Amino acid sequence: MRTPISDKKVAIVTGASRGLGLAIVRGLCRTFRGHVYLTALNSEEAEDAISQLRWEGLDPKFYQLDITDKCQVEKLGEFLKNYYGNIDILVNNAGIAYTSKDVESFSTQAAMTCRTNFYGTLHVCKILFPLLRSHSRVVNISSNVAKIAMAMCSDQVRDRLTDSNLTMTELQQLIHSYVKATESGTQVEEGWPITPYAVSKIGITVMTFIQQREFHQNIRSDIRSDIVVNACCPGFISTAMTRHRGTASPDQGADTPLFLANLPMETTSPCGDYVMNREVQSWG
């Protein structure tokens, strides 16, 4: 086995060249004793963000990453394995949201939104979770629109999404069924809310519950301990994604994600939860 080059701890933030992701990187650079990676698709935008943070006296690192590109995600995993051996914090922030001005068909928007926000995040987790060391913290950025949208689901869909025995494969099948329904325009009849962004964030949140449950179920076969995964709503933030209509700044929005990323050792709550304003919220 190749010896890692660095013995530093490491934190990874996806979709971090601006807005909330950039604010989370800023906060981690101030509080985390290790290397903090700002990952982003747009390298020019990321370079500007890195320069801004360095002007503030911080020292983030950059890795170009498109979470929908499986090869890029796998290369990131290989890099981290070879250079660090393990990782300590993973914040899954990367995502997209369409607006009423976008010209793509609704089914295309649904497919692309779920492909990025849900399936892209899931693949990042698949590749990087084996690198999590004991006491690692994972934060999946969700949204309160997902919680609101749960009330718009049919009883049948909602019961499936809140089933404590739901597997990750079954969750993927559910999200796939929504995307397929949008192709024929039958998503409402089949029990789904209309908005693709909300559905993708429902997927992110339920994914979180399953991930934590899997860590608990594998506790006897996995030598690692105290790995905590949580989902959170950062609030209504003024960013490019919200078209700057939000009422909170990105740094304010980063408060709960940073709180979860820095949870102390042996945390029992929040753990596998949906969190807003640092408080565990009911779901479903």
Helix or strand holding residue 233 (H, E): strand 228-233
Q: Which of the following is catalytic: 37, 63, 197, 274?
A: 197
| Known catalytic residue at 63 | no
Asked if residues 239 and 250 have their Cβ atoms less than 8 Å apart, the reply is yes
Q: What is the DSSP string of 268-282?
A: -SSSS-EEETTEEE-
| Eight-state DSSP code of residue 198 | H
Which runs of E-coded beta strand occur in 111-162? Answer: 132-141
Encoding tokens for residue 3?
Answer: 């010896």
Pairing assessment for the beta strands 274-276 and 279-281 based on DSSP bridges: antiparallel
Asked if residues 233 and 192 have their Cβ atoms less than 8 Å apart, the reply is no
Question: 3-class SS at 112?
Answer: helix
Using the structure block, give the residue that is written with the tokens 């024929």.
184
Helix or strand holding residue 18 (H, E): none
Which runs of E-coded beta strand occur in 30-160? Answer: 35-40, 61-64, 87-92, 132-141
Residues that are catalytic: 197
